[in-house]
Amino acid sequence: MSGQTREQQRALHAYERVEAAAKDAGVRADYKPRVNGLGAAVLRDGLAAALTFLEREREGNAAARRVLDDVAWCLARAKLPELGERLRGEELAAKVRGLKLDAYMLATRETLRLLVWFRRAVQATFPSEEEGADA
On the question of pLDDT at 10 being above 80, the answer is: yes
Contact in structure between 52 and 98 (CB atoms under 8 Å):
no
Asked whether the whole model's pTM tops 0.85, one would answer yes
On the question of pLDDT at 81 being above 90, the answer is: no
On the question of pLDDT at 130 being above 60, the answer is: no
On the question of pLDDT at 29 being above 60, the answer is: yes
Range of the domain at 71: 6-125
Residue 91 inside a domain? The answer is yes
Residue 52 inside a domain? The answer is yes
**What pLDDT was estimated at residue 128?**
67
Residue 40 inside a domain? The answer is yes
Residue 20 inside a domain? The answer is yes
Residue 132 inside a domain? The answer is no
Alpha helices (H) in the chain, listed in sequence order: 6-22, 28-45, 47-57, 62-78, 89-97, 101-125, 129-134
Considering the chain, what is the average pLDDT of its residues? Answer: 89
Distances (CA, A) of 91 to 76, 83, 96, 122: 12, 10, 9, 24
Residue 134 inside a domain? The answer is no
pLDDT tens, residue by residue, 96-128: 999 999 999 999 999 999 999 999 999 998 876
Q: How many domains does the chain have?
A: 1
CA–CA gap between residue 22 and residue 83 (Å, rounded) = 27
**What pLDDT was estimated at residue 133?**
44
Residue 21 inside a domain? The answer is yes
CA–CA gap between residue 33 and residue 103 (Å, rounded) = 28
Supply the CATH number for residue 39's domain.
1.10.520.30
CB atoms within 10 A of CB 31: 24
